[in-house]
C-alpha cells in the first residue's frame, strides 16, 4: 500500500500570486456570467449560474470571487483576505482557495524578488 501524500508546498507571507492565462480566461467568463445573471431575478438563479460556470472548469462556485480578486493585480494571501473581509471571507478560506486554484492551474506564484545587495563593508582608517 502506497499512501504517500504529495508534499505540501508552503509559501511565505510575502509570496504574491497572479492569474495564469487559464485563470484569466476563467475570470473573464465569471465576470460575463455575473453580468448576465444581473438580468435574472432571484438568488437561486444566480447560484445556479455560478455552479454552471464552475462545473466545466472543475472549480467551486465561490472560486470566481478569488479569481477576480487575484485578477486585479498580484496579491499576497493576507492582502486578498483583507480585501475580501467585507464579503465575509476568512483568511483560512482564502488560503484554501489559493491552494485549490494553484492545483488547478488557475493561479501561479510570482518569482521571489532578489534580496537587496549587502552593504559595502565599513572601513575604519
Residue 26, in any domain of the structure:
yes
Residue 123, in any domain of the structure:
no
Between CA 29 and CA 27, with CA 96 as vertex, the angle to 5 degrees is 10
If you ran DSSP here, which 8-state letter would residue 82 be given? H
Residue 34, in any domain of the structure:
yes
Please tell me the pTM assigned to this model: 0.77
Q: 58-66: long-range contacts at Cβ-Cβ below 8 A with a sequence spacing of 24 or more?
A: 58/104, 59/26, 59/100, 59/101, 59/104, 59/106, 60/100, 62/97, 63/97, 63/100, 63/101, 63/106, 64/26, 64/27, 64/30, 64/33, 64/34, 65/89, 66/94, 66/97, 66/98, 66/101
Nine-digit cell string for 71: 485578477
What is the residue range of 62's domain? 17-108
Report the C-alpha gap between 88 and 99 in whole angstroms. 19
Residue 102, in any domain of the structure:
yes
pLDDT at residue 78 in the model:
92
Residue 23, in any domain of the structure:
yes
Residue 103, in any domain of the structure:
yes
pLDDT in tens, the chain (125 residues): 444 455 566 777 888 999 999 999 999 999 988 888 877 777 888 888 888 888 888 888 889 899 999 998 899 999 999 999 998 889 899 999 999 999 999 999 988 777 888 888 888 87
- Structurally, the chain folds into a number of domains equal to 1
Residue 45, in any domain of the structure:
yes
Residue 32, in any domain of the structure:
yes
Amino acid at each position: 500500500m502506497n499512501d504517500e501524500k504529495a508534499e505540501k508546498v508552503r509559501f511565505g507571507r510575502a509570496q504574491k500570486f497572479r492569474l495564469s492565462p487559464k485563470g484569466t480566461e476563467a475570470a473573464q467568463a465569471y465576470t460575463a456570467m455575473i453580468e448576465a445573471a444581473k438580468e435574472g431575478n432571484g438568488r437561486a438563479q444566480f447560484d445556479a449560474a455560478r455552479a454552471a460556470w464552475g462545473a466545466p472548469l472543475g472549480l467551486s462556485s465561490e472560486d470566481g470571487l478569488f479569481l477576480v480578486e487575484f485578477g486585479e493585480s498580484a496579491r499576497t494571501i493576507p492582502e486578498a483576505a483583507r480585501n475580501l473581509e467585507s464579503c465575509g471571507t476568512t483568511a483560512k478560506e482564502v488560503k484554501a482557495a489559493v491552494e485549490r486554484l494553484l492545483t488547478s492551474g488557475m493561479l501561479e506564484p510570482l518569482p521571489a524578488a532578489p534580496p537587496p545587495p549587502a552593504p559595502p563593508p565599513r572601513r575604519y582608517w
